[in-house]
């Protein structure tokens, strides 16, 4: 039987960032990963390190995203020095494209409210067509303008995951391909985790299994009302540099491919792709950058986002099961630095970061409580 | 490098003329661009976007995507899947493709 | 979207036979093929080849004439030069023809997309001048083109020997055949001779090819155990070692043609997520098929080499079977009727494929031809080496999907066609688990690159 201080269930971006944070602080960590064909949201990620527009309803989320964005460069550098893997993180600012004056105006109102709610920590600029054209010479005529924020950037989520895995190993952490975790039970002060291939005991257990948390959370007195939400992404052949900053649904990767897509589909556990959706994504991309019309799509994929009922994360310590925690969200790239540098210390005994207090499951229970 | 068992001119077959980079190339009507290049002493059709290494047709059946060239301004075309046409302009595919309108 | 009764993909022997069989039972199929002319790779360019001397390509090649004639029946909606970029489990098919994309639908589909050559990742295999034996044969058939300078053929398998004799008959100078068949294989294959004798004509043809090469005095180097291609910027020389000899031997040549047998082209069956299994005998993946060659997806069948390597003759027989299966599925035949009609075909098929175990054992590629060493590229497109794949296994990657996402292996323009089987086998070997457990790339559309503009239009008209 394997024994460790921390068992992190889930080797995706959320679990890996946390495990990296813990391992780099000297804790003994094992990541329990399902394997090659898990519903891996981290492999279907678009790769934005993004702040603008997030947290409209809960400004603390905007602050949490900013906390992470501000730590991203340092994390990326640290991982590169440790593992030799570059995450391709760039922070040139990012734009959200608008297609009418009305859309631009309403975008400005929303972002301004967000800026106010964060005591102007979040900042942005509105760009008209010609200002946008200066940033992106290939921009289509039908794009009226955009909002721009210096907070935004992008990275390669696949290399981030690889760097985190390598980093965990450098710090003595273990990566265990255990298959599906079946059961977590308490045994005295520690936890026994039964999986398809192995049994592991750990002092603390962190649920970071994405959609898999639904079944695991109740076993440690937690609740994870998560729903899959499918996003489909198209990727083109490698192109010479043409888009030097990310937009909300188009970005050029370090290799030169253009990534596009922002579909939100409620299709249960179906992570396939559908032609009409792919065609719609293609159409939107060509509308934004008409010169892309002759560019070839070489791959597409669908991936399931991990969504709570309100779309915000879930971070919680179990009251009934001390030492058991849950962490899930759909912004594993943006929040990677906060997860590694702020959340991991909390799991190891430090104060909880102030930004995350609203993100317990209790917020979903308000409606269901019956007055006496 | 390849040669023809019998030159197209000798067998009264229709001949087309096209351009590869700065060269003028003669081929048999019905040849793929890849076959036409290989029988004209042209042994390299592209450089890779990863390391700039030279590459040439490899499988000739559309599987390997090694024979990418630019055909009439259209980048990353599989030379083994396109037939030559009279007056066609074929260029070496240098690394990642450019944007075309 | 127009719905057709039957759509057949591919016009090799399986696809053509399936089409004519279906027509016999009143089904008018749509037949899609990527090439401008029918015949698949085996009968490629049969109607237009400049190789007029029939002796060069041999009678087996010319025997494809009748199948091609059958396909030309005006009732068959044959669409050449058409690429398939999408197939869904609901049997919607995305087509691309003349730069225009469209979607059609089918009640029944027969995939007859054939085989591809097994990758043979030796050091230097990406150098210009190194090609496959299959490509050499395609150049011969379709353009009457042959190597200019003395050529080196390396590897093993029937196609390699066939090409050598075709070259010989065409007067092409062969510098050497570097035969990688391990020496002990002949003995191992012997125990399958009784089965092989049920298909004596094929066996004799093989013996005939070898005799023809020997008589002509072609340098045939047996027991080659290591091979590398070298040159600066393009191939200049080939180096090899023979079993039991530690010295490298060298030949200067500008053309090296590699061959290590053929494997099913499973790109489409994978993308539509049919159940696949690892065939340890043939060392390749194939879709699981029932007695009518149907996959586990309703209405999608596979005929010919795409469902496991059987060879051209057997592929045509499977095409007939799949055609009967289509007639059954589309209610043109009762089960009793189709079963009765299938019986002689099944019998002939069993006889023809009885030679397979013999060939599979004799030409089973040894490990060093399947698992590239640390410095050799496994993925030609993204230039990922065997060593990098092994490092990923050390890092905890159990399968090709995590490996792909960490290394970009399989993400290039060939969409994993050239490295898929290599990566599965490398990871299985490094992780000491079966290839079956290791799995394969999860593939998705488009199967062939399609432009954003074409894709956007496809949906509008669908």
pLDDT at A3: 85
| pLDDT range class, residue C461, cuts 50, 70, 90 | low
User: C401–A43: do the CB atoms touch at under 8 Å?
Assistant: yes
Chains that touch B (3 or more CB pairs under 8 A): A, C
Are both C275 and C240 inside the same structural domain?
no
Are both C287 and C327 inside the same structural domain?
yes
Q: Is residue B1, in this structure, part of any structural domain at all?
A: no
Structure token digits, residue A159: 């290399």
Question: Does residue C89 sit in helix, strand or coil?
Answer: coil
C194 Cβ contact partners less than 8 Å away, ≥ 6 residues apart: none
Mutation site for B-interface testing, chosen from C84, C136, C143, C385 by largest number of B Cβ within 10 Å: C143
| Residue whose tokens read 């390396």 | C154
| pLDDT range class, residue A268, cuts 50, 70, 90 | confident
pLDDT tens digits, one per residue of C8-62: 999 999 999 999 999 999 999 999 999 999 999 999 999 999 998 999 999 999 9
Confidence check: pLDDT of C459 > 80: no
| Residue whose tokens read 């579909």 | A263
Which chain C residue shows the shortest CA-CA distance from B46?
A: C128
Per-residue CA distances from C361 to A101, C210, C365 (Å): 71, 18, 9
Element (H, E) at A203: strand A199-207
pLDDT tens digits, one per residue of B47-99: 999 999 999 999 999 999 999 999 999 999 999 999 999 999 999 999 999 98
Contacts of C146 in chain B (CB under 8 A): 2-5
Q: What is the mean pLDDT of residues A183-189?
A: 93
Q: What is the 3-state secondary structure (H, E, C) of C193-252?
A: HHHHHCCHHHHHHHHHHHHHHHHCCCCEECCEEEEEEECCCCCCEEEEEECCCCCCEEEE
pLDDT at A369: 46
Could you say which of C239, C260, C281 is where a domain stops?
Answer: C260
pLDDT-above-70 percentage for chain B: 96
Q: Give residue ranges of A with CB < 8 Å to any B CB.
A: 138, 237-240, 242, 255-256, 291-292, 294-296
Are both C155 and C229 inside the same structural domain?
yes
Nearest chain A Cα distance for residue C119, angstroms? 21
Please check whether residue A138 touches C, CB under 8 A: no
pLDDT at C334: 97
Are A230 and A271 spatial neighbours (Cβ–Cβ below 8 Å)?
yes
Please check whether residue A177 touches C, CB under 8 A: yes
Which chain A residue shows the shortest CA-CA distance from C396?
A: A175
Contacts of A136 in chain B (CB under 8 A): none
Residue A29 region, left (φ>0) first, then alpha (ψ -120 to 50), else beta?
beta
- Domain with C426 in it: 371-431
Are both C253 and C145 inside the same structural domain?
yes
Nearest CB to C414 within list B50, B56, B63: B63
Chains that touch A (3 or more CB pairs under 8 A): B, C
- Domain with B38 in it: 8-94
Which chain B residue shows the shortest CA-CA distance from C139?
A: B35
Chains that touch C (3 or more CB pairs under 8 A): A, B
Domain of C213, CATH number, reads 3.50.50.60
Q: Is residue C12, in this structure, part of any structural domain at all?
A: yes
Are both C388 and C277 inside the same structural domain?
no
Number of domains in chain C: 3
User: A175–C413: do the CB atoms touch at under 8 Å?
Assistant: no
Q: Which letter does DSSP use for residue A290 in this model?
A: G
One CATH from 3.90.1010.10, 3.50.50.60, 3.20.20.70, 1.20.120.160 for A2-48+158-226+310-362: 3.50.50.60
Domain of C405, CATH number, reads 1.10.10.1100
Are both C268 and C247 inside the same structural domain?
no
Please check whether residue A250 touches C, CB under 8 A: no
Element (H, E) at A179: none
pLDDT-above-90 percentage for chain A: 80
Mutation site for B-interface testing, chosen from C113, C139, C256 by largest number of B Cβ within 10 Å: C139
How much is the mean pLDDT over chain C?
96
Are both C169 and C89 inside the same structural domain?
no
User: A273–C455: do the CB atoms touch at under 8 Å?
Assistant: no
Contacts of B73 in chain A (CB under 8 A): none
Interior CA angle at C40 toward C35 and C44, to 5°?
A: 85
Are β-strands B54-55 and B46-47 bridged in parallel, bridged antiparallel, or unpaired?
antiparallel
Q: What is the mean pLDDT of residues C104-115?
A: 98
Please check whether residue B7 touches C, CB under 8 A: no
In terms of C-beta distances under 8 Å and separation of at least 24 residues, what long-range contacts does B40-46 make, across chains too?
A: B41/B1, B43/B1, B43/C128, B43/C129, B43/C234, B43/C254, B44/B92, B44/C128, B44/C233, B44/C234, B45/B69, B45/B79, B45/B92, B45/B93, B46/B92, B46/B93, B46/B94
Confidence check: pLDDT of C118 > 60: yes
Structure token digits, residue C450: 């399609």
pLDDT at A367: 55
Structure token digits, residue B29: 């009507």
The Cα C249–Cα C241 span in angstroms is 6
The Cα C84–Cα C192 span in angstroms is 39
Q: What is the 3-state secondary structure (H, E, C) of chain B?
A: CEEECCCHHHHCCCEEEEEECCEEEEEECCCEHHHHHHCCCCCCCEECCCCCCEECCCCCCCCCCCCEEEECCEEEEEHHHCECCCCCEEEEEECCECCCC
| C-beta neighbour count of A71 within 10 angstroms | 17
Q: What is the mean pLDDT of residues C370-398?
A: 96
Confidence check: pLDDT of A295 > 60: yes
Q: Is residue C192, in this structure, part of any structural domain at all?
A: yes
Nearest chain C Cα distance for residue B8, angstroms? 8
User: B49–A291: do the CB atoms touch at under 8 Å?
Assistant: no
C457 Cβ contact partners less than 8 Å away, ≥ 6 residues apart: A279, C100, C101
| pLDDT range class, residue A321, cuts 50, 70, 90 | very high
Which chain C residue shows the shortest CA-CA distance from B9?
A: C50
Nearest CB to C452 within list A165, A176, A286: A286
Please check whether residue A156 touches C, CB under 8 A: no
* DSSP conformation letters of C376-442: SEEETTTTEEHHHHHHHHHHT--SHHHHHHHH-TT-STTTTTTTHHHHHHHHHHHHTS-HHHH----
Please check whether residue B2 touches C, CB under 8 A: yes
Confidence check: pLDDT of A184 > 90: yes
Q: Is residue C353, in this structure, part of any structural domain at all?
A: no
What is the pTM (predicted TM-score) of this model? 0.95
Q: Is residue C102, in this structure, part of any structural domain at all?
A: yes
Number of domains in chain B: 1
Q: What is the mean pLDDT of residues C442-462?
A: 86
Please state the ipTM of this predicted complex: 0.97
Are β-strands A94-98 and A145-149 bridged in parallel, bridged antiparallel, or unpaired?
antiparallel
Domain of B22, CATH number, reads 3.10.20.440
pLDDT at A371: 47
Are A158 and A43 spatial neighbours (Cβ–Cβ below 8 Å)?
yes
Confidence check: pLDDT of A44 > 90: no
Q: Whose CA is closest to C262, among C117, C134, C370, C417?
A: C117
The Cα C143–Cα A222 span in angstroms is 69
Are both C248 and C273 inside the same structural domain?
no
pLDDT tens digits, one per residue of A57-96: 999 999 999 999 999 999 999 999 999 999 999 999 999 9
Length, in residues, of chain A? 372
- Specify the range with the lowest mean pLDDT, choosing from A4-8, A155-159, B4-8: B4-8
| pLDDT range class, residue A39, cuts 50, 70, 90 | low
Q: Is residue B67, in this structure, part of any structural domain at all?
A: yes
User: A255–B95: do the CB atoms touch at under 8 Å?
Assistant: no
Nearest chain C Cα distance for residue A301, angstroms? 6
Are both C111 and C143 inside the same structural domain?
no
Contacts of A242 in chain B (CB under 8 A): 99
pLDDT tens digits, one per residue of C279-329: 999 999 999 999 999 999 999 999 999 999 999 999 999 999 999 999 999
Confidence check: pLDDT of A370 > 60: no
Confidence check: pLDDT of A13 > 50: yes
Q: Is residue B22, in this structure, part of any structural domain at all?
A: yes
User: A240–B95: do the CB atoms touch at under 8 Å?
Assistant: yes
Q: What is the mean pLDDT of residues A211-218?
A: 94
A263 Cβ contact partners less than 8 Å away, ≥ 6 residues apart: A230, A231, A232, A277, A280, A281
Q: A2-48+158-226+310-362 and A92-151+227-307 share one CATH topology?
A: no
| pLDDT range class, residue A301, cuts 50, 70, 90 | confident
User: C116–B59: do the CB atoms touch at under 8 Å?
Assistant: yes
Confidence check: pLDDT of C126 > 70: yes
Q: Is the peptide bond before C446 cis (omega within 30 degrees of 0)?
A: yes
pLDDT at B30: 92
Q: Is residue B69, in this structure, part of any structural domain at all?
A: yes
Name the C residues in 72-91 with CB < 8 Å from any B CB.
none
How much is the mean pLDDT over chain A?
92
Query: How many pairs of residues across B and C have Cβ atoms under 8 Å apart?
Result: 124
Q: A86-108 b/e with 16+ CB inside 10 Å = b?
A: bbbbbbebbbbbbeeeeebeebb
| pLDDT range class, residue A267, cuts 50, 70, 90 | low
A92-151+227-307 has CATH 3.40.50.12500 classification:
no
Q: Whose CA is closest to C144, among B26, B17, B60, B31?
A: B31
């Amino acid at each position: 039987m394997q024994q460790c201080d921390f068992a992190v269930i889930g080797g995706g971006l959320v679990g890996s960032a946390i495990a990296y944070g813990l391992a780099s602080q000297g804790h003994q960590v094992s990541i329990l990963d399902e394997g090659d064909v898990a519903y891996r949201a981290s492999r279907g990620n678009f790769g934005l390190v993004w702040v603008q527009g997030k947290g409209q309803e809960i400004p603390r989320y905007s602050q949490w995203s900013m906390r992470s964005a501000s730590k991203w460069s340092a994390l990326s550098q640290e991982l590169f020095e440790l593992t030799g893997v570059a995450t391709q993180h760039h922070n040139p600012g990012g734009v959200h494209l608008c297609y009418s004056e009305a859309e631009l105006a309403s975008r400005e109102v929303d972002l301004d409210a967000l800026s106010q709610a964060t005591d102007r920590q979040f900042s942005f600029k509105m760009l008209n067509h010609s200002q946008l054209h200066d940033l992106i010479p290939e921009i289509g005529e039908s794009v009226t303008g955009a909002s721009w924020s210096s907070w935004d950037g992008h990275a390669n989520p696949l290399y981030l995951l690889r760097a985190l895995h390598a980093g965990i190993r450098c710090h003595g952490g273990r990566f265990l391909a255990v298959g599906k975790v079946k059961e977590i039970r308490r045994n005295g002060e520690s936890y026994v985790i039964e999986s398809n291939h192995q049994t592991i005991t750990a002092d603390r257990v962190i649920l970071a299994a994405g959609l898999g948390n639904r079944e695991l959370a109740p076993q440690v007195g937690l609740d994870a009302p998560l729903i899959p939400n499918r996003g489909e992404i198209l990727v083109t052949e490698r192109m010479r540099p043409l888009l030097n900053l990310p937009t909300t649904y188009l970005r050029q990767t370090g290799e030169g491919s253009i990534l596009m897509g922002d579909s939100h589909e409620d299709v249960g556990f179906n992570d396939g792709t559908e032609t009409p959706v792919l065609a719609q994504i293609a159409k939107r991309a060509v509308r934004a950058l008409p010169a892309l019309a002759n560019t070839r799509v070489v791959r597409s994929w669908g991936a399931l986002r991990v969504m709570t009922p309100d779309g915000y994360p879930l971070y919680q310590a179990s009251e009934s099961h001390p030492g058991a925690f849950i962490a899930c969200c759909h912004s594993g790239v943006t929040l990677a630095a906060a997860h590694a540098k702020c959340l991991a210390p909390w799991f190891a005994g430090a104060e909880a970061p102030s930004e995350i207090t609203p993100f317990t499951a209790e917020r979903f229970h308000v409606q269901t409580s019956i007055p006496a | 490098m390849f040669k023809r068992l019998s030159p197209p001119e000798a067998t009264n077959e229709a001949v087309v003329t096209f351009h590869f980079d700065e060269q003028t190339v003669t081929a048999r009507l019905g040849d793929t661009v890849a076959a036409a290049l290989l029988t004209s002493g042209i042994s390299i059709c592209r450089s890779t976007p990863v390391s700039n290494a030279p590459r040439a047709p490899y499988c000739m059946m559309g599987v390997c995507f090694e024979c990418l060239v630019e055909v009439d301004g259209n980048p990353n075309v599989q030379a083994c899947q396109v037939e030559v046409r009279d007056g066609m302009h074929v260029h070496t595919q240098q690394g990642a493709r450019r944007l075309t309108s | 979207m127009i719905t057709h009764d039957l759509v057949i993909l591919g016009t090799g022997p399986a696809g053509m036979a399936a089409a004519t069989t279906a027509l016999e039972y009143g089904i008018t199929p749509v037949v899609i093929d990527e090439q401008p002319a029918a015949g698949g790779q085996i009968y490629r360019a049969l109607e237009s080849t400049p190789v007029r001397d029939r002796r060069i390509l041999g009678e087996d090649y010319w025997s494809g004439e009748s199948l091609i004639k059958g396909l030309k029946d005006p009732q068959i909606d044959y669409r050449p030069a058409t690429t398939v970029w999408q197939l869904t489990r609901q049997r919607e098919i995305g087509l691309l023809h003349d730069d225009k994309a469209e979607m059609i639908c089918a009640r029944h589909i027969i995939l007859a997309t054939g085989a591809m050559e097994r990758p043979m990742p030796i050091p230097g295999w990406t150098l210009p001048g190194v090609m496959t034996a299959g490509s050499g044969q395609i150049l011969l058939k379709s353009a009457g083109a042959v190597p200019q300078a003395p050529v080196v053929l390396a590897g093993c398998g029937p196609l390699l020997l066939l090409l050598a004799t075709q070259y010989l008959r065409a007067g092409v100078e062969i510098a050497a055949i570097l035969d990688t068949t391990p020496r002990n294989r002949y003995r191992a294959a012997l125990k399958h001779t009784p089965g092989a004798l049920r298909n004596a004509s094929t066996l004799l043809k093989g013996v005939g090819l070898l005799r023809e090469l020997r008589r002509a005095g072609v340098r045939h180097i047996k027991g080659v155990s290591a091979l590398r291609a070298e040159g600066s910027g393009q191939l200049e020389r080939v180096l090899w070692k023979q079993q039991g000899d530690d010295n490298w031997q060298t030949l200067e040549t500008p053309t090296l043609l590699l061959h290590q047998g053929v494997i099913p082209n499973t790109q489409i069956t994978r993308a539509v997520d049919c159940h696949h299994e690892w065939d340890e005998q043939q060392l390749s993946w194939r879709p699981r098929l029932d007695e009518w060659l149907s996959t586990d997806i309703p209405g999608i069948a596979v005929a010919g080499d795409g469902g496991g390597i059987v060879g051209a003759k057997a592929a045509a027989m499977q095409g007939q079977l799949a055609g009967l299966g289509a007639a059954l599925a589309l209610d043109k035949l009762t089960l009793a009727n189709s079963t009765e009609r299938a019986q002689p075909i099944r019998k002939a098929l069993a006889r023809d494929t009885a030679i397979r175990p013999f060939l599979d054992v004799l030409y089973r590629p040894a490990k060093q031809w399947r698992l590239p060493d640390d410095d050799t590229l496994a993925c030609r497109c993204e230039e990922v080496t065997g060593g990098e794949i092994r490092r990923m296994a050390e890092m905890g990657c159990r399968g090709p999907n995590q490996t792909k996402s960490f290394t970009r292996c399989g993400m290039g323009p060939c969409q994993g066609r050239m490295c898929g089987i290599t990566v599965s086998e490398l990871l299985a070997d490094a992780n000491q688990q079966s290839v079956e457990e290791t799995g394969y790339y999860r593939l998705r559309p488009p199967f062939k690159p399609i432009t954003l503009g074409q894709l956007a239009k496809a949906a509008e008209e669908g």
